[in-house]
Amino acid sequence: MNLNVKNFALISDVKIDFGEGMNIITGETGAGKSILIGALGLVLGKRADTNSLRNNQKKCIIEAEFDIKNYHLNSFFEAHDLDYENQTMFRREINPAGKSRSFINDTPVTLKILQELGSKLIEIHSQSDNALLFTTDFQYKSLDLLSGSHNKLKEYVAKYHAFIRKKDFLNQLKIEEEEYKREHDYNQFLFDELSQANLENIDEISITKELELLENAEQLIQTYKEADQLIQSSDHSIVNQLYELIKLLNGNKLTILNDLQERIDSVLIELQDIGNEINNNALSTEINPQRLEELNNQNNQLFNLKNKHRKSSLEELKDLLISLEDKLVLSSKLENQIVELELELKNDENELRKLANTLSEIRIKNCSKVELSVNELLAQMGMEHSLIKYQIINQDELNSYGCNQLNVLLSSNNGESFNELKKSTSGGELARINLTFKYILSKYMQMPTSIFDEIDTGVSGEIARKVGSVMKNMANNQQLIVITHLPQIASMGNYHKHVHKTDKNNLIETQVRDLDGNERIHEIAKMISGDNLTKHAIEQSKMLLN
């Protein structure tokens, strides 16, 4: 991995080429070593803000280049429509407004994709990671990775979470079913009431018209009778008078009257037609109290239903009927769905138990081998009287990791009883146990680069040398970047970089330079004796480097 940082915190422009093997970073407290880790975190997808900018008028650019040719990541690039390159470049830009952009091989990507690919390329370990040893997740995953059951665990976890989601869905359905059950009888009553009203066969407009006709039948018949008398039935009807008028006009042979005669003929024809229609209406209008009562009942029922359900129209009542029917059908469907889900969950649980039992068997069978590997490495780091032990207890209830309750126990001295790890470790012991697991796991995880950020706290002297030796071995399989304050560890690196601050025009700036030869001897000597270099410290430094 190589790192390029511009305009970030105390860094103006720094380019760092990390070599293969073990890369050491040293420097005084506050020189900016943690800033490098912060920059790397940003380019791998951590949140950014404008406070990170050294000059808030310019954008911050951080680039990290990885050699990924041996890590089988082609499928990831294909899945996210990215150009695959053996030398893959991450880039993160933060502008003065706080807007951030991310790129992989010059292709814009989301932070999520940046984080996902970054997690496959680099792992950063800090002092706070020591607490991970106490977490259930780390203890299970490390045991399963080292005992060969990691793929089984992944399969189990995926199925377990699907099982829990299905179980939650079932519980939600049961809550809905209870609600529907509480409302069912009332909904059924409303549905029956609306169904009996025969809403589909009701024509509200026709009912209104027919009601108006029946309610006014007597008055209409009388009106039709009088109108008929006036128009054509009486001796002095309008039609008879028009006939007289026509006779009068016909008696005069004057052509000037022809137009008037034609118009009067037209009026006569129209009046006769109106008279016939009045006659027909009078004959068709009947007084029917029984039909009137029937329609009034129907109209009153419709009015009451609208009022009861707060609806303004017949169509809204029809919609309500459909809605009630849907609820009643859904209640029945829910019941069937719940029965089916319960059966599925029973089968799923049986499958999960088989997987959990398989996991448990593999763990129990192989945990002694894992313990042996861990304890051998602890002995190499000066904890030869300490023993790590896995306590695996079977239980009936399934959990996120199977059917086991797992405890990692430690005996710090020969003959001492085993206690939970978090109750029986000092800071130095915890750092070494953490490194032990990181070292063993690194053989399985195939991570291109690992960074150790002062995880060697609490160790010194010969123990520090042994810790450094383990790191050196770890660097045979991957690129290792180690930030340390221990000369024993610093002396074991293949490369050594020094972080320091300079004052340029009253501006403090972090810079990084490669150390070689005498520079490296003097840096390690300063780590031994402080700024006051002694001949003895220089001799010790040379001895460590050799």
Mean pLDDT over 311-330 rounds to 76
Neighbours of 362 (CB within 10 A): 19
Contact between residue 237 and residue 263 where contact means Cβ atoms under 8 Å apart: no
pTM (two decimals): 0.66
pLDDT of 130 > 90? The answer is no
| Least confident range of 367-381, 423-437, 479-493 | 423-437
pLDDT band per the 50, 70, 90 thresholds, residue 176? confident
What's the pLDDT score for residue 283? 66
What tokens does 310 get?
């707060």
Q: How many angstroms separate the CA atoms of 378 and 387, rounded?
A: 8
What's the pLDDT score for residue 424? 67
Burial class (CB in 10 A: 0-12, 13-18, 19+), 379: middle
Q: Mind listing the domains of the chain with CATH numbers?
A: 2-147+385-515 (3.40.50.300), 180-331 (no CATH)
Share of residues in the chain with pLDDT > 70 (%): 95
Neighbours of 530 (CB within 10 A): 10
Q: How many angstroms separate the CA atoms of 313 and 204, rounded?
A: 9
Beta bridge partners of 507: 504
Which helix (H) or strand (E) element contains residue 453?
strand 449-453
Mean pLDDT over 180-191 rounds to 76
One-letter amino acid at 23 equals N
Q: What is the bridge-based pairing of β-strands 479-483 and 449-453?
A: parallel
Top mean pLDDT of 84-98, 205-219, 318-332, 499-513 is at 84-98
Residue-wise pLDDT tens digits, 24-56: 999 888 778 888 988 998 999 888 777 788 888
Please state the separation of Cα 199 from the chain's center in Å.
Answer: 47
Q: How many angstroms separate the CA atoms of 399 and 170, rounded?
A: 19
Encode burial over 138-176: b for 16+ CB neighbours within 10 A, e otherwise: bbbbbbbbbbebbebbeebbeebeebeeeeeebeebeee
Contact between residue 112 and residue 86 where contact means Cβ atoms under 8 Å apart: no
Question: Which is more confidently placed, 101 or 125?
Answer: 101
Write the CB contacts of 171 (distance below 8 Å, at least 6 apart in sequence): none
What's the pLDDT score for residue 179? 80
What's the pLDDT score for residue 218? 73
What's the pLDDT score for residue 346? 95
What's the pLDDT score for residue 362? 93
Mean pLDDT over 292-305 rounds to 72
Question: Which is more confidently placed, 318 or 362?
Answer: 362
How big is the CA angle at 32 (ends 104 and 492), to the nearest 5 degrees?
85
Neighbours of 331 (CB within 10 A): 18
Mean pLDDT over 225-252 rounds to 81
What's the pLDDT score for residue 52? 80
Mean pLDDT over 464-492 rounds to 90
Task: Return the SS3 of 34.
Answer: helix
Average pLDDT, the chain: 85
Top mean pLDDT of 45-54, 264-273, 348-357, 509-518 is at 348-357
pLDDT band per the 50, 70, 90 thresholds, residue 155? very high
What's the pLDDT score for residue 228? 78
Question: Which is more confidently placed, 520 or 421?
Answer: 520
Q: Token match 């430094």: residue? A: 541
User: CA distances (Å), 143 to each of 13, 137, 242, 425, in order?
Assistant: 43, 10, 118, 20
| DSSP state at residue 198 | T
What tokens does 259 get?
């137009």
Q: How many angstroms separate the CA atoms of 371 and 378, rounded?
A: 10
Write the CB contacts of 174 (distance below 8 Å, at least 6 apart in sequence): 338
Backbone angles phi, psi at 410, to 5 degrees: -135, 135
Write the CB contacts of 494 (distance below 8 Å, at least 6 apart in sequence): 19, 20, 21, 22, 23, 475
pLDDT of 253 > 80? The answer is no
What tokens does 385 get?
């009287």
pLDDT band per the 50, 70, 90 thresholds, residue 141? confident
Top mean pLDDT of 85-99, 132-146, 182-196 is at 85-99
Cα pseudo-dihedral 488, 489, 494, 496, rounded to 10:
-90
Residue-wise pLDDT tens digits, 221-236: 778 778 877 888 787 8
pLDDT of 330 > 70? The answer is no
For 34-106, where are the E strands, in sequence order?
A: 60-67, 87-94, 100-104
Residue-wise pLDDT tens digits, 396-416: 999 999 999 999 898 888 778
One-letter amino acid at 320 equals L
Mean pLDDT over 131-147 rounds to 84
Name the residue among 61, 341, 324, 52 with its Cα closest to residue 190: 324
Longest dimension (CA), the chain: 159
pLDDT band per the 50, 70, 90 thresholds, residue 112? very high
What's the pLDDT score for residue 244? 80
What's the pLDDT score for residue 136? 86
Mean pLDDT over 280-284 rounds to 71
Q: How does DSSP assign 212-261, residue by residue? A: HHHHTHHHHHHHHHHHHIIIIISTT-HHHHHHHHHHHHHHS--GGGHHHH
Question: Which is more confidently placed, 7 or 222?
Answer: 7
